Amino acid sequence: METVESVLAQDVIEPAMKADRYDGLARLLHWIFAAAILYATAAGYALAQLPDGATREFLSHLNMSIATVLIALFPLRVWWASVRATPRELPGVSDAQRTIAHGVHRLLYLTIFAVLASGYLMVPNGYAFFGLIEIPTPFGPGALTAQLFAFHRASCALLAALVVLHVLAVIKHQWIARNGVLQRML
Ligand code: HEM
């Protein structure tokens, strides 16, 4: 049965105790992923246009190395997202909008996983991490790595589309609804 105390605790005290923005680790991981994904997307599509040669080789290894940092950080990001405290709900956002936003965020995590896993698995015979350590990969060149490359391309295109959607939602909330969504991640 709902008492005055339980209603107060649920609707007034608990929301008031919640923070206005995400914690430091969540913000740091968010911006590391954002920067690396934007870079890897631009570099990946640029590489697709470059002819074989030393520049392509260098940029391709740089790209794989930066993406490998994300592979190492991804489990930490998923774990932290599941245990950290969520900040106070944004004002003026309907339940339906909130459900859609959570759905897009989940899909973003899933797509990042697909991009990282396919990127790693499709590289035949390993690669050098920033020229320092040799990272082994499980498959040699063949039909399987070619299929994984096709999957990588498709998941990269989906990730780019989701990132555009995500940024458009931030623009809408920040500059049209003016509810200060960006401050939660700064
Ligand atoms: C943040 C994650 C990543 C993003 C956003 C990303 C993005 C891209 C894009 C847009 C392309 C061009 C696809 C096309 O030609 O249509 C590409 C190609 C490629 N990606 Fe990824 N990728 C990521 C992770 C990885 C990982 C983890 C690896 C391997 C360790 C990898 C290795 C490659 C390779 C080898 C290519 C072919 C071009 C080249 O020779 O470098 N990627 N990537």
**Is residue 133 one of the residues assigned to a domain?**
yes
**Is residue 17 one of the residues assigned to a domain?**
no
- Pick the atom of ligand 1 nearest to 60's CA: 41
Interval 69-106: pLDDT, tens: 999 999 999 999 999 999 988 888 899 999 999 999 99
**Is residue 16 one of the residues assigned to a domain?**
no
- Pick the atom of ligand 1 nearest to 59's CA: 41
Question: Percent helix, strand and coil across the chain, each rounded to 5?
Answer: 75, 5, 25
Answer whether residue 164 shows pLDDT above 90.
yes
| Token pair recorded at residue 153 | 């391309």
C-alpha 61/C-alpha 35 separation (Å) is: 17
45 C-beta closer than 6 A to ligand 1: yes
Mean pLDDT of the region 107-118 = 98
Interval 124-148: pLDDT, tens: 999 999 999 999 999 999 999 999 9
121 C-beta closer than 6 A to ligand 1: no
40 C-beta closer than 6 A to ligand 1: yes
Would you place residue 11 in the very low, low, confident or very high pLDDT band (cuts 50, 70, 90)? Answer: low
CATH of the domain at 151: 1.20.950
Answer whether residue 107 shows pLDDT above 80.
yes
Answer whether residue 1 shows pLDDT above 70.
no
Position 3 scores a pLDDT of 72
Closest by CA to 40, choosing from 61, 9, 15, 11, is 61
108 C-beta closer than 6 A to ligand 1: no
What is the total count of domains within the chain?
A: 1
Q: Are 30 and 22 spatial neighbours (Cβ–Cβ below 8 Å)? A: yes
Would you place residue 8 in the very low, low, confident or very high pLDDT band (cuts 50, 70, 90)? Answer: low
Burial 141-159 (b: 16+ CB within 10 A, else e): eeeebeebbebbeebbebb
**Is residue 67 one of the residues assigned to a domain?**
yes
C-alpha 178/C-alpha 66 separation (Å) is: 35
**Domain around 48:** 23-185
Position 2 scores a pLDDT of 66
| Token pair recorded at residue 128 | 């050098």
**Is residue 14 one of the residues assigned to a domain?**
no
Interval 12-47: pLDDT, tens: 555 556 888 999 999 999 999 999 999 999 999 999
